[in-house]
Amino acid sequence: MRYILFFLVNFTLLSQESLTISPTPFNFQSEEAGFEVFYTDHYQQMEIQGNYLYLCHRADPFILQIHLDTKEVKKIGSGGQGPGELSRGVLGMAVGPDRIWAIDSQKQKKIIGYSNSGKYLESLTVPKPGPRRFSASNSIACNNREVLVPISPGSGKLGMVIQMNGERQTVGELPFPRNQMNEDLIRKMPYINQTFWVYDNNFWYAAFPFQPTVLKFDRNLKMVKGYHLEHALVNERFNAIMDFLPENQGQGAPALVTDMKVFKNRLYVMCVEKYLFQIDLDTGAILSISRFTSVGENEQSGPVAYPLFAFRDNGSLFIGHPINPKLREHDLYIIENPPFLGK
């Protein structure tokens, strides 16, 4: 059975072949101190703000802040039950110019704000998120005035924007609302409406881990554009998601989209964990598709999965997949001058 998206979107078929790019290791941990000092085998989110890269995981009660030039590492947050402390780990984070937000993975209705220096600022109560399957998609988004968090699909909305003065407003409609037509799909995939968000240049962007779709909302939280990824690689995975039948309890469909960023008026989406799509924000055209090789002793044939990525202001691209045992000898990977920039 196939399902039709609830809005019209722009899409352009890609005619050129995908680019193959070889990354370089980027290691920030001291060999003298040992690899375990800042354990990164399971980070689920990667963000960059200015000269700092941030990593987090739901089982670690802190956010790693890494200076990209000096490689100095700092932990923001700590375990505990007091103000500014994370009881278990970080379910998702948002990094803005002057503030960092973290959702407590155990107390999911609690979001904690820190300064960029790591000082605790305040805590907010937020709606509990809905069902989620894929850990990299638990991110939230923020600017200097607001923070946006995904909310339960039972609300009929995708997210909620919370202003610093306490005002709240919901945003977005569910692609698959709970009704008779979608009943079977939601039963087997309760996370089909799951989202993750980014903020850029006065717009909010929502991506879906299990749908080939990105939505764009303006400052008034009105949807102004939808982007649909139309490509054989994407279609194959999306069809597998729609046809997915779990063989045992707890089994879930493979994710289609694992990360999304906006950089220099381009939308970037990591699909099927291996392919980075570059999309024109104005036309919706797919400008390039890039895939990445492995490095070092474990050189593999074919594209390697790096589901997480982030751009530095100078254009350097950081990618990572530390749970892949064949890539575990390095913390992160970098492409200093991505060949697709400027297309």
Phi, psi (degrees; rounded to nearest 5) at 325? -60, -25
The CATH code of the domain that includes 225 is 2.120.10.30
Q: Is 239 helix (H, G, I), strand (E, B) or coil?
A: helix
At residue 7, the pLDDT reads: 39
- The answer to whether residue 146 is domain-embedded is yes
Residue 291's beta-bridge partner residues?
A: 20, 275
Tell me the Ramachandran region of residue 279: left when phi exceeds 0, alpha when psi lies from -120 to 50, beta otherwise: beta
- Contact present, 64 and 37 (Cβ < 8 Å): no
Residue 204's beta-bridge partner residues?
A: 199, 217
C-alpha closest to that of 272 among 293, 258, 251, 253: 258
pLDDT, tens digit, for every residue of 17-30? 689 999 998 988 76
Q: CA-to-CA distance for 291 and 67, rounded, in angstroms?
A: 26
pLDDT, tens digit, for every residue of 274-313? 999 999 999 999 999 999 988 754 555 677 889 999 999 9
210, HSE (Cβ side, Cα atoms, 13 Å): 25
- The answer to whether residue 13 is domain-embedded is no
> pLDDT band at residue 109, thresholds of 50, 70 and 90?
confident
Residues 6+ apart with CB under 8 A from 133: 189, 191, 194, 209, 210, 252, 253, 255
C-alpha closest to that of 96 among 63, 61, 134, 145: 145
- The answer to whether residue 117 is domain-embedded is yes
Mean pLDDT over the full length of the chain: 85
Per the structure, the count of domains in the chain is: 1
Q: Does residue 317 have a pLDDT over 50?
A: yes
Average pLDDT over residues 6-27: 64
Burial 25-45 (b: 16+ CB within 10 A, else e): ebebbeeeeeeeebebeebbb
Average pLDDT over residues 133-137: 61
pTM here?
0.91
- What is the domain extent for residue 261? 19-335
Q: CA-to-CA distance for 78 and 98, rounded, in angstroms?
A: 20
Residue 332 or 281, more confident: 281
pLDDT, tens digit, for every residue of 198-221? 999 999 999 999 999 999 999 999
> pLDDT band at residue 244, thresholds of 50, 70 and 90?
confident
Burial 96-114 (b: 16+ CB within 10 A, else e): beebbbbbbbebbebbbbb
Q: Does residue 2 have a pLDDT over 60?
A: no
The string of DSSP codes covering 264-289 is TTEEEEEETTTEEEEEETTT--EEEE
pLDDT, tens digit, for every residue of 172-186? 999 999 888 898 888
At residue 209, the pLDDT reads: 93
Q: Does residue 117 have a pLDDT over 70?
A: yes
At residue 122, the pLDDT reads: 92
Task: Using the structure block, give the residue that is written with the tokens 């802040």.
Answer: 65
Q: Highest mean pLDDT range out of 104-108, 233-237, 313-317?
A: 313-317
Work out the angle at residue 181's Cα, subtended by the Cα atoms of residues 178 and 183, and round it to the nearest 5 degrees. 50
- Contact present, 214 and 223 (Cβ < 8 Å): no
Residue 32 or 55, more confident: 55
Q: Is 184 helix (H, G, I), strand (E, B) or coil?
A: helix
The string of DSSP codes covering 71-84 is --EEEE--BSSSTT
At residue 215, the pLDDT reads: 97
Cα maximum dimension of the chain: 60
Average pLDDT over residues 31-57: 78
Residue 52's beta-bridge partner residues?
A: 49, 67
C-alpha closest to that of 101 among 110, 113, 109, 89: 113
- The answer to whether residue 342 is domain-embedded is no
- The answer to whether residue 104 is domain-embedded is yes
> pLDDT band at residue 135, thresholds of 50, 70 and 90?
low
Q: CA-to-CA distance for 74 and 48, rounded, in angstroms?
A: 14
Q: Name the CA radius of gyration of the chain, rounded.
A: 19
pLDDT, tens digit, for every residue of 71-94? 888 999 998 888 888 988 898 899
